[in-house]
Amino acid sequence: MTMMQTTENGSLENTRRSPLKRFLPLLIVLAGLAGGYALGLHQYLSLEFLSESRGVLRGFVAENPFLAPLGFAVLYAMAVAFSFPAASILTLFAGFLFGWLLGGALVAVAATVGASAVFLAARGALSGVLAEKIGGRVSRMAKGFEEDAFNYLLVLRLAPIFPFWVVNIAPALFNVPLRTYATATFLGILPGTFAYAYLGHGLDSVLVAAAEAGRAVTLGDLITPQLTLAFAALALIAAIPVAVKKLRRSPDT
């Protein structure tokens, strides 16, 4: 069976499912996001909260060396699964509370698990929509994405051009295999994850200085031009295989 036949069969099977079954996982994600904001949980995902509670949080981690990392990983995965736009802040939390190495490792695993969950929810609801609604050049682009999904995703993960939650959901439109999605996500977020965890590891002095100056720390205070250039360089390197493949397939070559 060819890839096109498999995609068509998957799309037909998906359309036969009742709308409720198709959209229920995605509705749960949206309900969780709305519920979290309604409960004010987003107020705890800020550097201001970390500054005010850093003593209590570090005390809890010291008293619970096994439960604290596990609990944080579960919370991080849930935040990603429910698409809370706070991945960078939570990664700083991880570095601050657990150190850059353990914190980065926790985030890499938890973010991949959470992203895979929302990807599966979106794929169940949106699979086949692209093939049914569009054609022509865009359809060929979609097929190209499917054929080289790993490199495309790797570039998107390395370069934080789009919000993390957008990249979590967008591949669901292109029938990307879960294994490819999870692998590219895990590898692609590693540089940025450990960079932010390292920033979080050295955040204490920044928070203290800001508190003494009577001002709040923002994420923009921590992102240097050098860090931005490093992310851009990583994305450029990852994009090279994609560009080479396109050049080889070009009829002019």
Task: Check: CB of residue 211 under 8 Å from CB of residue 126.
Answer: no
Task: Check: CB of residue 136 under 8 Å from CB of residue 144.
Answer: no
pLDDT digit string, tens, across residues 10-45: 544 544 556 667 677 777 778 887 888 787 777 888
Share of residues in the chain with pLDDT > 90 (%): 25
Q: What is the pLDDT of residue 78?
A: 92
Taking 90 as the threshold, does the pLDDT of residue 169 lie above it?
A: no
Q: Whole-model pTM?
A: 0.74
pLDDT digit string, tens, across residues 61-102: 999 999 999 999 999 999 998 888 777 889 989 999 999 999
Region 208-237 average pLDDT: 63
pLDDT band at 144 (very low <50, low <70, confident <90, very high): low
Q: Which residues contact 73 (CB under 8 A, 6 or more apart)?
A: 106, 109, 110
Q: What Cα–Cα distance (Å) separates residue 162 from each residue in 21, 157, 242? A: 29, 9, 19
**Dist. CA 133–CA 29, nearest whole Å:** 24
